[in-house]
Structure 1
Amino acid sequence: MRKKLFSGPQKMAAQLQTMPRIHRLSLITMSFLMVAVAIWTPTHHTERDVTRKVIPLDKASVTPISNDNSEPMDVLLDPDDPALKVEQDEIDKQLAKEDSHQHSHVIVDGDSLSSVFGQYGLSLNDMYALVKANSDVSKLRVGQTLRWQVDDDGKLTSFEILRNRKNTDVFTISSAGITYKQQTAKGEFRDVTVKGVVKTSFYVQARQAGLTPGQIQELVSALQWRFDLGKQARRNDRFYALISREFVDGERFSSGEVQGFLYRSGRNEIMIYRHTDGKFYDQDGQSLQRAFRRLPLTKRYRISSPFNPHRLHPITGRISPHNGTDFATPIGTAVLATGDGVVVKAQKHRLAGNFVVIKHGREYTTRYLHLSKILVKKGQRVKMGQKIALSGNTGRSTGPHLHYELHRFGRPVNAMKVPLPQASPIPAGQRSEFVARLKRAESRIEG
């Protein structure tokens, strides 16, 4: 008899029946699992082979996406770049040589130690060190004066708080740390006149006459808009300074504070006197300052990146200072000079793009970066509010904006918060008394 041939599925079913029951269950379970995996696993259909290629990113070309960063945080402007630096005259060089640029701030309502440090870009670590040396450093009152000096890296080299005419908190800073003491005036104050004749330069003869670098800086700054003691001083010019000094047992104890100053150059004469608010005014009680505006624009635009000299880079973790204020302005927005001054730079820079630098007397300098068009030229005199450029997106910039910087005595400060010069005269009710005191001072000088 011929054997019947089984088809494929029939043969498999017959073999399955001959298997033990436990083996049949295991085989059926495994089969269901394999079918389930086949159903749920995505299948890729390609008509050709795909070759994957890994392309490394150039970190220098990657910019973090952030609303607080309108220009690459890893691109810094070198403060010593000759293209950006402002030339110094003899007085500036002498003051820099003696490391005697003295900064000051008069406490107003709402000020705190931390807010003052923030306005002037001072190190918070230095502030904490002052607090550790004496916690009373943070107890400030309206009208008190802070005075300090910093080195090239922005670290404090001296710090004082003039509490009142008698008491001054003095913090001595060295590599070993900070020590504190309070100086209390124990003697009597007398007005002393020092005088001199210009032979080589005002600075040299003023030092010979007994004025300190700090006093010279104060007088040069006070007169910067009326008479430039560095550039306009001439041989045989005469000057007289009335200084209030402390004497103990008949001996001079302090260098004192300049109260009045008289300068004669040929037929020209100017007399200035310190008012009770600590500022100098002319013979008529008029301000010696030139006013500044807060914003370099016709209206307020969103600040895309604020002033922050201690900003940390989000990737490297290193300090990446932002020494200005960035405004998110459309390309072509009018840029205004924030004060009267002279254009000392108006050119192109590979990082700053088209930029303008204006010198405002001796104390202040402003910078305007990433411009689309420059409307002024080097050497041109400009007025506060004058249109000097159009904002843009030139240089190393991640989007249209205006980068604006304000420098005081060569150091960047927070233009949005730091007190700005105001050209207000002495109040009418105080003017007659001021003029009377000035006349008495003038007679003592000439006497």
Structure 2
Amino acid sequence: MTFSCNQEKSKTRTKKTIKKEPIIKDYGFTFNDYNVVRDTLQSGDTFSTILEAFTLPDSLKSHDVTEKIKDSFNIKNIRAGKEFITFSDKKNKKELKALVYIQDKTNYLVVDLRDSIVVQMKAKPTVIKRRTVAAELNGSLSETLDKLGVSTALAPQMAQIYAYSIDFFKIQKGDKFAITLQEKYFENGDYLGVEKIEACYFEYKGKKIYAFPYKLSENQKYFEYYDEDGKGLKNMFLKAPLDYFRLTSRFSRARFHPVQLRWKAHNGTDYAAPHGTPIKTTASGVVERTGYTAGNGNFVKVKHNGMYSTQYLHMSKILVRTGQRVSQGQTIGRVGSTGLATGPHVCYRFWKNGVQVDPLRLKLPNTEPMSKKQKGSYLEYIKPLKKELDDISAKTFKEE
């Protein structure tokens, strides 16, 4: 069959592309199925006031919902400024189907009203990723971490780890560090921050100071940081049992007592501070005794190990009990003037091998030393961690 040149050309078909609404899923709901409103709690808002803006599905009452919420969540903990999301019927926007209260980046409360009242605390799925990074300071530590894509919240953590070893006000451009860390992400890849530090070093004044978190026993509640030789980075004792104080009387073998008005030994160090100031135990240990005497007033005595003990006198309030394990820096009482005292202060007493001594003149140890067995296990544990730090350092700084 032949066609003439004049044959009518076929008509061009125009195809229309229908844009599909993107499917949005979050917090266990498909947003497209509901009328969704994101809102922020205002001062004075409660779950009851939120529910009052809606009608509930048949047979459900506002009181029943709030009572059910109480079983899973302390409703007094909701805070102004926090976000919440309401899911209502698409046709009847006043009919509430579900409510989500966002507690923080990870945790949220779901109040599902679709069939019955179901209340659950949930957490968004997260993943942990591990990496080792190294860098030379260029600007502040926070700025350098930010350039590495690491949370700047790590800077104060590192300052705390090295509080007894490095003056972070004096670190400078050219100082180096390396760190192995675990970081948390949402499943969609959004970064949540640092979950854990596995190992690190900071090169300060030309010396590498390593830090590895480690527990000497399974019963130990918190990690302590040790260097590559098993020596603790943290001093075993704080310098004083108070954060803010005025030293009013030193340890002395002959002091004129301000109440008894006679010369006698003063086997302690007096720190004056306002009534109610927190008193902290200067080292970890076990509360050996608490009580009251006419001279000491309310007191607490802590045994730290076979060699050292400390005692804290004239408290207005005792906050620990005999036999309780306490951590360095834990508040064990409040400053007062009970017993023989002319004003609010704490008399800090220090024993070494059963003899009271002056802690301000004593060369105190770092964290309690490891036993031979503990040190062997520790050195085996840190061997691969230290190698990772050294390897990335060699790779990062190879051009120098």
TM-score range, shorter chain: 0.3 to 0.5
Q: Which has the higher helix share?
A: 1
Structure number with the bigger relative contact order (C-alpha 8 A, sep ≥ 6) is: 1
Q: Which has the higher strand share?
A: 2
Larger radius of gyration: 1
The TM-score, its normalising length taken from structure 2, stands at: 0.36
